[in-house]
Structure 1
Amino acid sequence: MIMDHPLRAELAAELHARPFLRLAESVSLMHYAIYAEDNPSIHEAVLRALCCGTGIPLPVNSATHYSVQSSFGWHLKWERHTEFSTFTFVIPRNDTDYFSDTAMEGIPANWFEQIAGNRFVACRMELLSGDHARAVREAPSQWIDGPILVGSNVLSGGRVFCDWSVRADGFMRFLVVDEDFREEQGGRLLQRLYEIETYRMMALLTLPIARKLSRDLDEIHTSLQSLMQRMDSPGVDGDDSQLLVKLTHLAVRLESLSGSGGRFSASRAYEKLVLARIQELREERIEGMPTIQEFMERRFAPAMETCRSVWARHEQIAARIARAVDLLRTRVNLAQEKDVTRLLAGMERTARNQLHLQHAVEGLSVAAISYYVLSLAAAAFKALHLLSIPIEPELAEGIAIGPVVLAVIAITRRTRGRLAKRNSSDEEYLVRPLNSSLTQQLEHS
């Protein structure tokens, strides 16, 4: 009998899926991050090409992390993330040829050709201990000579120096001095440093999008302002329908820009990871040098703030357009209601005129019908008189005038009452749905 859920083992192993590097000596590290938005299959393909080109075993299918020792002396650590993959090569360092290609020995040139155009991060790191560390810590600028030297005491047992500059060979440099690291602290520190750089670059992917989006939002904002001014202008009631169409087109254009919302959300997530990794360094100031946190606050934080402000502006403009559409739709509905009210008033006047005309016609109709009925009655009375029935035709006709006229009047009124009742029911049936529809539209607006 199986007691565990099918996903239990996989989810429990996720906690140990990406262990820290275990380093107990001076090492040279080279880190690549591969990003290919339009070719997600490149990550596994590049890993398998590296394995085939260097003779290391192939990973299992659908693997998201892989760690192996090569026959050339370097250790490979590969990780597959949601949007990118990383290749980290580590090799022990016994000489002073720092920031060289020692960690890449044995890798065929065609492998580098496969990642051409997709290398998003490239870092060289040196972890020095013992006599090498003491010799370098006093003059880090010999190896890190960028425009700004950033450095700090970290983890209460070492120092980090960097300049966050991409050199002519395409790599950034990080120099780590091991003064008193405990077990595995060196490996954790190197991993945090290249994660800071990788996540920082992934977060900054949104910055070009934000700049372009900002220009588009400027155009949309200008158009929206113009339409709002036209809405507020007197005598624009007849143009409300056209304004509503233009606002709808503006809303569609803005909505088409919302496709980058996922990129902005990812940027915020990567920014949080960067800040978390910096906090984990537990930095202490080295006199005369900015710390990594201070450097990021001056250079990285403004870029992220720009992304946040642009997306917030996008949301604000979207809300303004939605409110403008609702207001204009309400105005259109009110105008339609006025038109319906005028139409009903016209129908009422027409009905009233018809009623007056009907009353006049009814009077003539009563006289005409009574005349014809009496004519028929007179003919009948004359026929009876010829049959020797004692009836005086003229007298009988005169006596019948009153009852005939009253009977015609009664029949006419009864018929008119039935028609009026039927017409009232038909009008209520037609007007009630129209009023209900207008009420619902106004409540929605």
Structure 2
Amino acid sequence: MSLIHPPPEHQVETIFGAFNDHPLRQEVNDEVHARPHEALNTPVKVSHLGMLSGRRGGELDRQAVADLCRRYGVEPPQPGAQHLSADFGDFRLKWERRTELSTYTFFVEEDFDELFADPPLDRVPLDWLYSLPGPRLVGVHLTLEPAWAQPRSTSDIQHIFDDNPIVGSHITGGAARVWSDFRIQDDGFTRVLMRDVSLRNRQAGRAVQRILEIETYRMMALLAFPVARQLNPEINDLEEQLAWITEHMTQDENSSVSDEQGLLGRLTELAARIEGIGNNTNYRFHAAKAYNELVQRRIHELREQRVQGVQTIQEFMERRMVPAMRTCETVSERLESLSRRITRTGDLLRTRVDVALEAQNRDLLDSMNRRADMQFRLQETVEGLSVAAISYYLMGLISYVLKAGHDAGYLPRVEIYQGLLVPVVVLFIWAVIRIVRHRIARKQAK
């Protein structure tokens, strides 16, 4: 007999009501349950579109899906929703909004006579398709044959794909097979043929989803490849200009400050160009790396097994996609390396300019000190002459007074008084000039 008794019902409500939940708790929890895989019953045809509406196109994509829902009387996606899965009668639609694009996947489950005739997209209103935001980047028609369909040989399958080299394998532990040539056909769509061997409904949905995501993420990753090829010549030119600047820095040791300031100006222009290129391409290259990782992960999840004489999806991607991704990584690394080198060179050049300017300032100060010393000596010389001149003129005035005293009979000999007064006058004038000069110096110091 258990000794543990459950708490009363009102107590349970009180306990759970006492917690203050994080405002994002429900949203975070629901994220792991979002975007479930479709449950597919074979035979099924799938049309898949990837429209590159851009990083700010999410609201326009939702409005487009809501418009289609209104036409068919289906509940539209909620504001801020990133996905929708709904039955429209003639077809089923799975819409998913990703960072830069939206994917629209249409399903039709019914028997068919021809593999790629009458795709699900033909049942979607044409005017609505034309109104979808953004250009089409991905287009796939996928057919999933039932297990009871007549078996096909490798040559039959190759003929279905216009005798192009095909890629294929057993997937999902041998529960299905898949073939494609990964070429865009005349109708603008890539074709994929799958055959059910022993798939369960949800398993079929996961397998189809992985194949479609491989194609979607492959195209998104490869968007960076043309950018990388286009940047290569420009990066070569930037590296040559940086090498020229560095060479002139090392060879021209006696260059003037103006010359080095000119080099610094050219280096600043290079840095601005690199920053501009980086701002325009950093996101694309980092996104390519992330998309490529998703491609590799989806391929791993397929659990491929080789079909004799046919290249697997993993082998196809390694031979075709890996070199392109390495090119993108190399260009991205070259840009980052070039930016670092320009920064280091700029720091070195600025240091040289600062040192040269300090030397110029030091020479200028020395020259000013010498000039001030000369002016001081000249001032002392002029001061001595000034004392003599003022004393001479003052003695002339005093002589008039002495002569007047002599003529009046008060002073017997004028020459004696003149001789005695000369040193007194000179000392007096010298003292006055010294006092005036010291007062001026104190005012300037303040």
> What's the TM-score bracket when you normalise by the shorter of the two chains?
0.7 to 0.9
**What does residue 268 of structure 1 align with?**
289
Give the corresponding residue for 1:248. Answer: 268
Q: Tell me, what secondary structure is at the counterpart of 2:148?
A: helix
1:345 aligns with 366
Within-5 A mapping of 1:348-359: 348-359=369-380
User: Partner residue of 2:98?
Assistant: 81
**2:87 aligned residue (51, 61, 69):** 69
* 2:236 matches 1:218: yes
Q: Which residue of 2 aligns with 1:135?
A: 151
- In structure 1, the residue matched to 2:206 is 188
Pair 1:35 & 2:57 matched: no
C-alpha distance in 1 between matches for 2:73 and 2:117: 23
Alpha-carbon displacement from aligned partner over 1:65-95 (angstroms, at most 9, x marks no partner): 11111222x3211112221111111222434
Q: How many angstroms apart in 2 are the aligned matches of 1:203 and 1:89?
A: 23
Match of 1:94 among 108, 111, 118: 111
Residue 135 of structure 1 aligns to a residue in which SS?
Answer: coil
- Alignment of 1:292 onto 2:313: yes
**C-alpha distance in 2, partners of 1:338/1:149?**
73
Distance in 1, matches of 2:213 and 2:163, equals 21
Whether 1:44 and 2:62 are equivalent positions in the alignment is yes
Preserved contact between residue 146 and residue 163 of structure 1 (Cα < 8 Å): no
State the distance in 1 between where 2:70 and 2:122 align. Answer: 15
1:177 counterpart residue number: 195
Structure 2 gaps, min length 5: 1-16
Query: CA contact under 8 A between 1:264 and 1:307: conserved in structure 2?
Result: yes
Amino acid at match of 2:374: N
Contact 2:217 2:294 in 1 (8 A): yes
Name the residue aligned to 1:125: 142
User: How far 1:236 sits from its partner (Å)?
Assistant: 4.2
**Structure 2 residue matching 1:164: 3-state secondary structure:** strand
Structure 1 counterpart of 2:14: none
Q: 3-state DSSP class of the match of 1:98?
A: coil
> Which residue is equivalent to 1:14?
31
* 1:313 aligned residue: 334
- Segments of 5+ residues of structure 1 without an aligned counterpart are 427-445
How far is the alpha carbon of 1:387 from its aligned partner? Answer: 7.8
Output the TM-score relative to the length of structure 2.
0.82
Aligned equivalents of 2:200, 2:74: Cα separation in 1 = 31
- Counterpart of 2:352? 331
Distance 1:320 1:417 in 2: 58
Give the secondary-structure state (helix, strand or coil) at the position aligned to 1:219: helix
- How far apart are residue 63 of structure 1 and its match? 2.8
Alpha carbons 2:174, 2:305 under 8 Å: kept? no
* Cα shift readout 1:76-126 (whole Å, capped 9, x = no counterpart): 111122211111112224345322325345323333433598222111223
| TM-score, normalisation: structure 1 | 0.82
CA change 1:146–1:312 in 2 (3 A) is: farther
Letter in 2 for 1:360: T
Of 370-379 and 256-265, the range deviating more from structure 2: 370-379
Aligned residues: 423
The C-alpha deviation readout for 1:253-278, integer Å capped at 9, x for no partner, is 33332323222222222122212212
Which moves more between the two structures, 384-393 or 216-225? 384-393
Tell me the percent identity. Answer: 39
CA offset at residue 290 of structure 1? Answer: 2.7
Q: Partner of 2:76: helix, strand, or coil?
A: coil
Aligned with residue 383 of structure 2, among 362, 368, 381? 362
SS in 1 for 2:345: helix
Stretch of structure 1 that moved more, 333-342 or 259-268? 333-342
1:145–1:163: 8 Å Cα contact kept in structure 2?
no
Q: Cα RMSD (Å) of the superposition?
A: 3.3
> Hey, what's the Cα distance between the residues in 2 that align with 1:419 and 1:323?
52
Aligned ranges 1:354-433 → 2 under 5 Å: 354-378=375-399, 393-416=414-437, 425=445
Aligned to 1:59: 77
Structure 1 pair 11/177, CA: closer, same or farther in 2 (3 Å)? same
